[in-house]
Structure 1
Amino acid sequence: MYDSTDIQNNKGMAILAYILFFVPLIAAKDSKFAWYHANQGLTLFLAAVAANVVLGILPFIGWLLLPFANLAVVVLAILGIVAAAQGQVKPLPVIGSYTLL
């Protein structure tokens, strides 16, 4: 399904997708591999924003849970970066099944 030359040529863009999800959308328009990881990065970004907004509004309990939610975002980003660096097309746990792009 994913071309091995596409994977080799766009690993860097796929890794970058977990830091700045929009860069692969501009720089690697024709790469399915980079777009897959850009989608995962966008999903992770939106989940992080939603968690921060919701938990930031909730007094006390939300404020206590916010560091754990942010830690989970960092862990998911690392899992995505590792998968991209290994040339894998593997969805992130919990949020990886959503396709936005």
Structure 2
Amino acid sequence: MYDTTDIESNKGMAILAYILFFIPLIAAKDSKFAMYHANQGLTLFLCVVIVNVVLGIIPLIGWILLPLVNLALLVLAILGIVAAAQGQVKPLPIIGAYTLLK
């Protein structure tokens, strides 16, 4: 399904997708592997934004949960980076089923 030469030549872009998701969209738009991880990175980024806005608005309980949820989202980013570095196409837990980029 994914070409091994594509995976080997675009591992760096796939890793970068979890830090700055838009870089692979510009630099490696022809790579199916990099685009898969860019989609995962975009989904993770949107989750981070939504969770921080919603929990930041909710007094007390939201403020208590915010660091814990951010830690969980950081763990998801690390899992994605590890999968990309190993050349794996593996969806992130919980949020990995969503496809935002085609």
TM over 0.5: yes
Alignment of 1:74-93 (within 5 A): 74-93=74-93
**How far did 1:5 drift?**
0.2
C-alpha separation between the residues in 1 aligned to 2:62 and 2:85? 34
Identity fraction in percent: 82
Q: Which residue of 2 aligns with 1:14?
A: 14
- The RMSD of aligned alpha carbons is 0.3
**How far did 1:44 drift?**
0.2
C-alpha separation between the residues in 2 aligned to 1:97 and 1:29? 21
Count the aligned residue pairs: 101
Q: Which residue of 1 aligns with 2:34?
A: 34
C-alpha separation between the residues in 1 aligned to 2:95 and 2:88? 17
C-alpha separation between the residues in 1 aligned to 2:29 and 2:74? 26
C-alpha separation between the residues in 2 aligned to 1:43 and 1:96? 8
Unaligned runs of 5+ in 1: none
- 1:42-71 CA-to-partner distances (Å, cap 9, x unmatched) read 000000100000000000000000001110
C-alpha separation between the residues in 2 aligned to 1:50 and 1:90? 23
TM-score w.r.t. the length of structure 1 is 0.99
**How far did 1:29 drift?**
1.1
Which residue identity lines up with residue 8 of structure 1 in the other structure? E
C-alpha separation between the residues in 2 aligned to 1:56 and 1:69? 12
Q: Which residue of 1 aligns with 2:62?
A: 62
Unaligned runs of 5+ in 2: none
Look up the SS of the partner of 2:95 in the other structure: coil
Which residue identity lines up with residue 45 of structure 1 in the other structure? F
